[in-house]
Amino acid sequence: MTKRIQAHVERCPAGNWRGRVRAWIEGAVESYFAMSALHDVVIYGSGQPFRNAMTHSEVTRHLAGLISDGARAGAWKVDDERWLAVMMF
């Protein structure tokens, strides 16, 4: 799923932070619908509550990295990119 999302993000210019976040979200939605059966087995089959699974997932860490990169570039201010990523996803 992360590879599919990253492909969407890479289509945006490096400095277009809002576009990159939008592309991330679009990529995540498209990836979910393309892989929903596998996604549900991985997430719900882990036995953890959904919120716990998302807090530490690779896809959430990927979004947190994008948010952090945008903050370092001065596109926005964020207190906690990991929790923002969890809420966004």
Q: What are the extents of the domains in the chain?
A: 2-88
pLDDT band at 1 (very low <50, low <70, confident <90, very high): confident
Q: Supply the pLDDT for residue 89.
A: 81
Averaged pLDDT, 48-61? 71
- pLDDT over threshold 70, residue 47: no
Other CB atoms closer than 10 Å to residue 11's CB: what's the count? 12
Helices (H), 1-89: 2-10, 17-34, 36-44, 50-55, 58-72, 81-88
pLDDT surpasses 80 at 88:
yes
Which sign does the torsion angle of CA 10, 24, 6, 29 carry?
negative
